[in-house]
Structure 1
């Protein structure tokens, strides 16, 4: 691994460690650190400790999973394979299923105009807009329906399913969302049509000059129209305009990674996401 690539992966590793810390407490479990969210919102993960002298052992993984079960949290463990290559075999020996997701970084010179993918407009959420609560609920509902059908092909679920998945935000969650958008540490985007409403969504989390695009989803009935690429491109261009010089994401599969290649991303490694192996009937 050359020095530039090593430095890039180090910046990504430091981002992964930093992004939960404003909203979570960190618990050390051997070579792992578990981030426990203090308020409302999506639960965080466990990762290898940034300052650890060794990769997490089987005992470390067992200890952090036991703590997650004790707290009622998902047994989620994430890491960058190139930083902790030994952990893949350890996680699998612990009975965990591991998604090996292409880790991709944006080439700023190759960033593409969202309009080159679709004529459906993409807008970024405004912290001061009176529609913020409805917009955030729509973003989350699109993601829930989209990730419920994990592929890139068209499907039957559409606007009616999105509307059924809409859940109102409590005051604390909405205040947190508004504050993150206002200070630039979070961007959210919606692609909408007059007839269908929100059909694709995504978000980005930013710490300093590094940002991760995540949660890009499209309603199955609206797929194959360039919407995921447009949402990703809109978020990427907004991040670059705000002074972010390292924009990255983890693609859910090699097929999905091809979408991001068209937006200007290139593969730099593998992001591993481990969870308990589903029980067979």
Structure 2
């Protein structure tokens, strides 16, 4: 299986493990009844599956039936004709992201900068602190709902990873990785709150999450980079450019 196909298949498995997945022809929609967020409720195609305009129309209808915004994320190399079909149906490009990959032989683990420590959030209070810090770092409200906490608890219970950076009683940031599928896992949500940036913490978090995946038997970790700062962080700890993912949505 090609690298693109492995990454794409891992997304298919991740979405199919959502609380209420919906299969529509070659697509799966990862529906989560606890939130309408398009960043959580989106679709992706099975790698290499043939796709028609009728399949896209059925997908849109399924999104409407689920009361969710039609949206997709996928590896472009696994469905080269899909972008045109989506544009014809009224979708627009939301973003194009490069994905990077890391293997056990390429991972570099920097020291955790003082005075921070990295730990696993193992209580609802700590999970809420991690989610709040991530939200704040990404410009959202620094709060975590009970549904948010339950979502990360499910991730951990299924074999995923959550790591938080703490100093004293403060959560300075953190990151996560989804439950592995056939030796592949996505690292996501790497975040450092503004007062704690430019100290090497993002790289330490990324490397720690990745090392935990490899210790559990994962052989391929991947993530997305969307700016120069994140590129520098990820390449310094051993991630290498691998392919492209496309986000498309219907407004």
Among residues 210, 216, 228, which one is paired with 2:184 in the alignment?
210
Alpha-carbon offset, residue 230 of structure 1: 1.4
Map residues 231-242 of structure 1 onto 2, 5 A cutoff: 231-242=205-216
> What SS does the aligned partner of 1:141 have?
helix
CA–CA distance in 2 between the matches of 1:40 and 1:95? 22
CA contact (8 A) 2:93 2:246 kept: no
CA contact (8 A) 2:26 2:45 kept: yes
> What SS does the aligned partner of 2:62 have?
helix
CA–CA distance in 2 between the matches of 1:217 and 1:122? 15
Residues 30 and 104 (structure 1), Cα distance of their counterparts in 2 relative to 1, 3 Å cut: same
Given the alignment of the two structures, is residue 32 of structure 1 paired with residue 27 of structure 2, yes or no?
yes
Give the unaligned 5+ runs of structure 2: none
Residues 11 and 49 (structure 1), Cα distance of their counterparts in 2 relative to 1, 3 Å cut: closer
Given the alignment of the two structures, is residue 135 of structure 1 paired with residue 126 of structure 2, yes or no?
yes
Could you say which residue in structure 2 is the equivalent of 1:100? 96
CA–CA distance in 2 between the matches of 1:120 and 1:41? 38
CA contact (8 A) 1:189 1:201 kept: yes
Map residues 45-64 of structure 1 onto 2, 5 A cutoff: 45-50=42-47, 52=49, 54=50, 56-64=51-59
CA–CA distance in 2 between the matches of 1:113 and 1:64? 42
CA contact (8 A) 1:102 1:257 kept: no
Residues 143 and 76 (structure 1), Cα distance of their counterparts in 2 relative to 1, 3 Å cut: farther
Residues 126 and 41 (structure 1), Cα distance of their counterparts in 2 relative to 1, 3 Å cut: farther
Q: How many residue pairs end up in the alignment?
A: 247
Map residues 94-243 of structure 1 onto 2, 5 A cutoff: 94-115=90-111, 118-127=113-122, 132-148=123-139, 165-169=142-146, 174=149, 177-178=152-153, 180-183=155-158, 185-194=159-168, 197-208=170-181, 209-243=183-217
Could you say which residue in structure 1 is the equivalent of 2:245? 271
Normalised by the size of structure 2, how large is the TM-score? 0.83
CA–CA distance in 2 between the matches of 1:275 and 1:147? 21
CA RMSD of aligned residues (A): 2.8
> What SS does the aligned partner of 1:78 have?
strand
- Once the two structures are superposed, what CA deviation does each residue of 1:47-80 show, in whole Å capped at 9, x if it has no partner? 113473x1x4455334423432442323320110
Could you say which residue in structure 2 is the equivalent of 1:156? none
Normalised by the size of structure 1, how large is the TM-score? 0.75
- Once the two structures are superposed, what CA deviation does each residue of 1:220-273 show, in whole Å capped at 9, x if it has no partner? 333222222111011011111222111111223354223211110001101112
> What SS does the aligned partner of 2:31 have?
strand
Give the unaligned 5+ runs of structure 1: 1-5, 150-163
